Every structure is written in structure tokens, then in C-alpha cells.
Amino acid sequence: MKIVTTINDWQIIRQQLTGKSIGFVPTMGHLHAGHISLCERSRVENDITVVSIFVNPTQFNQGSDFQLYPRTIEQDKSLLVSHQIDYLFLPDAESMYADHYEVQVTETALSHELEGEFRPGHFTGMLTVVLKLLNLVQAARAYFGEKDYQQLLLVKKMVAALFLPTEIIACETLRADDGLALSSRNSRLNAAQRQKAAHFPHLLQSDAAIEKIIAQLQALGFKVDYIADQWQRRLGAVWLDDVRLIDNISIKKE
């Protein structure tokens, strides 16, 4: 695996990859089996797989969340090497935001609902960095997990609206044995919180009405941002103390 830390070095390498199909997995690091499943799919479907690790400061609403976001770069490198990833792109914030974030990508409808209501500005930061990364990598396909379902919809919408030549591939959410969706933030849960967190996906998948699910979560000690049925999904975001969890499940049309 070749590790590339500057945009200029990557652009030189990218010119040499003409004629190869490239799969791209953008991440913020602290990799887990969910990320690796995206990488494995990319390896099957493309000649070259590129993974990026960039903890994007512009998509965090709270400075504390950005500071506390788990960073395990050496562990991540070893994991990617063991899964035969071709390139790891590790840019820094100064290079990615040489314009001081004066140029931003904003979506004006979908981004104001659900996550957008509770995390104002989050999706602008996310879309801005994803556009930069897609422009740099110039992949045939980019792989995104369905756990961040609203993010997935927005990335697909941006790619279509701006005529980007990259196909966005949605990949199913991977779950731990207790049903909790795999997430880098899960490592911040202590043992007691982790045991309690498993109630969240269990209730989300139940046949109970939304009001009842919210009441049950609150009774268990969760702070609920939302539970909502949209896009043929039941989506939810909750807090366990200072850790925020999001999830969604597919719901059948009546």
C-alpha cells in the first residue's frame, strides 16, 4: 500500500493511473469492519482501491466532538495493508481548506431535515469535503454505508446535480452481534452504555409506533433527537450521555 500525504503527490500518481478503474472509500479513520466491507467490495469491482482518512473539521457542530473523535492512524494503516488496499490518501486540513472554507457546497432542501435540523452546517461541511475528494480521486465508483442514510442521499443528489462521473455505491449497514450498527463513535461507549445502546436498534426495528419507541427510549435513559419514517426508512438519532448514535432500517411499503 502506498501512503500519499499531499494533494500534489496524489495528483501526480492519479495521472499515472489512466485506464484503470478506481474505487474510492472516503473515511474519517478509526476503521472497523463496516469500513472494511466497503473496501472489500471496491476491490472486487475495481482495478485499484483508494481509501482516504480525513477527520473533516467543517462537519462537526461541536468542537468537543471533533477533538474527541477517535484517531487510530497506525492501527488503520495496518488494517488497510492486511486487506491489500492500493493507496491511502492522508491529506491535512490546511491543504484541503487552502481557501479557509470560503467556498462551500450547500443543498437547500433535504439537508435541513432530521440530521440537518439537529446539526446545522453539518451537511454543508460533508458535501464540501466529499466534492473535493471526488474531484481529487476521480474514481469510477465511491462506496458509502447506508447507516448514514441521509448523507448517502445527499451525496447521490450532489453527484447527479453537478454531473460528476463517479457512481455512488450504497452498501448495507454492518452490525455487531447485539444489533448495534458499527460506528467509529461506538468505541467511546463504556461497558454499561454499550449494553444499553443495543436497545436503540432493537426498538427501531420493532413494530411499535414512533411515539411509543420515543417513550421507551427516554425511559431507558436515552435523549432522543428524532425517530422518523422517511424515504422508506425508519431513521433515528439518540444520545447516550455525550455519545450520539444514529441508525436506520428499511421499512416495507404498506
Q: Give the active site residues.
A: 35
- Contact between 12 and 96 (Cβ < 8 Å): no
Q: Cα separation of 130 and 166, whole Å?
A: 12
Task: Please give the helix or strand (H or E) that residue 34 lies within, else none.
Answer: helix 33-45
Alpha carbons within 13 A on the beta-carbon side of 76 = 22
Residue type, 173: T
Whose CA is closest to 26, among 121, 141, 115?
141
**CA-CA distances (angstroms) from residue 45 to 101, 146, 171, 198?**
34, 19, 13, 33
How is residue 144 written as a grid cell? 458509502
Phi/psi of residue 31, each to 5°? -70, 145
